[in-house]
Every structure is written in C-alpha cells, then in structure tokens.
Amino acid sequence: MIEVNPSEMRKTRLENGLVIVTEHMPHVRSVSFGVFLRIGSRYETLEKNGITHFIEHALFKGTRKRSAAQIAEESDALGGHLDAFTGREMVGFYTKVLDQHLARAFELVADLVTSPAFEASDIEKERNVILEEIKMVEDTPDDLVFEIFSKKFYPEHSLGRPILGTPTTLKRFRRKQVQEYYDCVYRADNLLIAAAGNLRHEEVIGLAQEYFGHLSAGETTHVSGEPRAKPHITLRHKAELEQSHLVIGAPCPSLLSADRYITHILTLILGGGMSSRLFQSIREDRGLAYTVFSSISPFTDSGYLSIYAAASTEQLTETIAATMDELRRIKVERVGEEELERTKDQLKSSLMLNLESTSARMSALAQMEMTFGRFFSPDEIIRAVDAVTPESVQRLAREIFRTEALALTVLGNLDGFTVKRAQLVL
C-alpha cells in the first residue's frame, strides 16, 4: 500500500488499485462515506447509451445475500439515507450514519456494489421504472430543454446523449449485457472510497481491504474523445406548455482549466442570484420572466456556460434581446471592483458553507481526487478566488461569448415563433 498526505485529509491506494480518501472531523458524531466509480455515461457506446444508469438502479434490486427489501430495511435501521447517482463522468453510492454504525453500513454498501444478483425478473422491472423516469423528464420542461440543448450542442459525442438512455437502447439491455458491462467497469482501479466524519483512516482502510480487497484491476481502458461543440438554433414545439423555456449557451473552460474560478465568477455575475445582472435586467427591470439564471456544466476536458429563462412565448424575443445585451455589456465594459468583490464573497461563502456537513466534505474529497488526484484546502481555494481580476473576467467573457460559438434552444408553445441567427450577434 502507498500512503500519502498524513493529515486530517489522508489517501491510501491498495495493491489492487482501489483508492481510499478520508477526512477526520472529530467534532461530529456522524460519518458520510461513498463508493465512487470513475466511469460515467460519457464512456458508453451509442448502442449502450443508458447502461451505466441502468446498472446503478439494478444494484439496488438485490445482491447474492440480500433482497431489495432487506437492503432498504437495513439502511433504514441504521438511520442513514442510502442513495446513488449517475453522472456523465462518475457514479456514486453513498450514505450517512452515526459513527458507531460505520462498519455495518460499510458492509451493506460494499455488498450492494460488489455482489449484485442481476436477476432477470428484476432487470425487467427496473427497465419499466427507468422508462417512467424518461417520461417524467418529458413532462418536466425545465429539464427537457437542457436535454435537447445538450443533444444538439454535442451531436456526435456521448456527452450529448441522455444519461437515462432512450426507450430504444433500454429495450436492448438483458441480464447478459448488464453483467458483462458491470464486470468490465466495476473494477478495483476504477473505484474510489471517500469518507468524512468522526472516523479513523486506518479503520476505513481495514474495511476496504475486507470488502474490496478481493477485486482485481483490469486491462480495458475506457476512453471518450474530446467533444466538439456545435452552434445551433433549435426550436421544439410543445403545445401544452404555458411558458416557453430558453437556453443560450457556449463552450467554457473545463474542470481542469486554470480559468475555472474565473468561469465561476463570470457565471455568478451574469445570473448567480437576485443581484445578478440577468435577474435584475430581465425580471426586476423588465418583468419578462419569473425564473432566469446562468450555470456551468463543466467536464474534465470541456464544458459549457448556459443561461436559462422561462417566459411567455410573446416575450421570448425581448428576453433573448435582453440576454444578448448583458452578454455584450460584460464583454465591452470591465466589471467594477465593488461588483467583483461582492461576487467573490458570494462564491467563497457558497463554497465554504457547502463544506460544513460530512456529506459535502465526502463529496468534495471524491471530486478532488477523481478530477485532480490531490486535495485543495479551503485556504487554497479562497486564494484562487481572490486572484480573479476585472481584466481576467473580461478576457474570459470575450473568449466565451462569440457569435459563432453561441447555441440556442427554445421549448414551448411556439406556434408562429422564430429565431434568426442575427438575433444572436455579439
């Protein structure tokens, strides 16, 4: 075993390649821990689109020693909240329990992840559950508009495909395909265990050795080429909607970029709260929309910054024009010191407050290790935020917001509504 960083944050790599990262928080009585897979939906082929999420669901249907009901009962008995997620670049299974229940909870999660039963009947049931989940997205326009945007933005890449898959791909999944894909990716070298709370690092290592030590590393390398973003204008008519939903986006720096903190600042200035420029202009000054915000969707090699608004179809043209006005403004005018400092305080407060729970600290540990292979202290993060200057914000705005890079998606009752490329000129 190779051990590094002997501090409150510690890291150990087992001989089979599995990594354990922990943070000791002696002032709490809880422990949050999770098992994370370094493979997300972006590594799927077109034919297997949705299988990563499908397996995440299927693991809860039972193991070789526990039924789905027993998994739920034992989790409830521990007082924790066992949950999971599938992202485009990672999968996570996590829970939070009292420190005295760590060993029992760890065994439960380990059993869930390492010894699924994959009964054919359960796979059929889960297929139906996920089909209903897909229908739910179709009925949730503020989610659906982003699905449509991503598909058109990355039309030739897996990042543009839905994490849930499609009804067509889901129909292909049988026990054999599910088991084969699971065996291929759920390997020791693809797994990470992260834990934070009132724990001893050595105890977590011992539990990991006991329940994951038998796993082997693999030789298959999962790759996903860097995506090429495609500017587009996409209109989707959905007559039953009362509001129309708008997304304007452009490529932005990746998770690994040196400009990542500048990207966060730029996004907050534009649409990160009630004092943001878009909120004040579109909602407060003009009364065009109830909801408007900007956000970033960063990946390890790419990403995009997007602006979302929901408004009546009659006010969409003015909403687009108001948004473009703010994008031009942030490119031409340097951000004032007062606005920049206020935004920095907002970002630092958000980052630090989000790290006050064991669950958030556990998630941060996992994200830092999987993305950077190292830990960032709160002080290091604050220094990076403080280093952002008005000039750097303006430079990045000019790099991101280019006419030829912009993409737009509108979803709603669009009878008679059109958008011309000239409306997106910066």
Residues 309-321: tens digit of each pLDDT? 999 999 999 999 9
- pLDDT reading at 418 higher than 80: yes
Strands 19-24 and 191-197: parallel
Helix (H) or strand (E) holding 386: helix 378-386
* pLDDT tens-place string over residues 290-346: 999 999 999 999 999 999 999 999 999 999 999 999 999 999 999 999 999 999 999
Residue 13 has pLDDT above 70, yes or no: yes
Burial of 345 (C-beta count, 10 Å sphere; 0-12/13-18/19+): exposed
pLDDT value at residue 81: 87
Strand partners of residue 407: 249
pLDDT of residue 4: 41
Q: Tell me the mean pLDDT in the region 173-180.
A: 96
Question: Which residues of 144-232 form beta strands (DSSP E)?
Answer: 191-197
Q: Write the pLDDT tens digit of every residue in 379-401.
A: 999 999 999 999 999 999 999 99
Residue 101 has pLDDT above 60, yes or no: yes
Q: Which of 173, 193, 189, 164 is nearest to 36 (CA)?
A: 193
What's the pLDDT score for residue 7? 59
Residue 223 has a pLDDT of 77
The arithmetic mean of pLDDT across residues 7-30, rounded, is: 93
Residues 228-255: tens digit of each pLDDT? 999 999 999 999 999 999 999 999 999 9
Give the DSSP per-residue string, 29-90: SEEEEEEEES--GGGS-STTTTHHHHHHHHGGGBBSS-BHHHHHHHHHHTT---EEEE-SS-
pLDDT value for 354: 79
Flag whether pLDDT at 145 surpasses 80. Answer: yes
Task: Place domain 2-212 in its CATH homologous superfamily.
Answer: Metalloenzyme, LuxS/M16 peptidase-like (3.30.830.10)
Task: Write the CB contacts of 44 (distance below 8 Å, at least 6 apart in sequence).
Answer: 50, 51, 52, 158, 161
3-state secondary structure of 291: strand
Domain boundaries for CATH 3.30.830.10 within the chain: 2-212, 233-424
Q: Are 404 and 231 in contact (CB under 8 A)?
A: yes
Longest dimension (CA), the chain: 65
| Residue 381 DSSP class | H
The pLDDT, as a whole number, for residue 220 is: 65
Helix (H) or strand (E) holding 307: strand 303-311
Distance CA 276, CA 253 (A): 21
Residue 213: per-residue pLDDT: 96
For residues 294 and 289, give the distance between their C-alpha atoms in angstroms, rounded to a whole number: 14
pLDDT band at 356 (very low <50, low <70, confident <90, very high): confident
* DSSP letter, residue 213: T
What pLDDT is stored for residue 3 in this prediction? Answer: 42
Q: What is the pLDDT of residue 341?
A: 97
d(CA 319, CA 332): 20
The pLDDT, as a whole number, for residue 209 is: 97
Q: What is the pLDDT of residue 5?
A: 42
Separation of alpha carbons 204 and 11, rounded Å? 11
Residue of 23, 44, 56, 326 marked catalytic = 56
Residue 6 has pLDDT above 70, yes or no: no
| Predicted pLDDT at 353 | 84
Q: Using the structure block, give the residue that is written with the tokens 């986006």.
A: 249
Task: Count CA within 13 A, CB hemisphere, residue 222.
Answer: 21
**Beta strand segments in 191-257, E:** 191-197, 233-237, 244-251
pLDDT tens-digit series, residues 183-235: 999 999 999 999 999 999 999 999 999 999 999 988 766 778 889 999 999 99
Rg (CA), the chain: 23
| 56 catalytically annotated | yes
To the nearest whole number, what is the mean pLDDT of the chain?
Answer: 95
Q: Is the pLDDT of residue 419 over 70?
A: yes
CATH architecture assigned to 233-424? 2-Layer Sandwich (3.30)
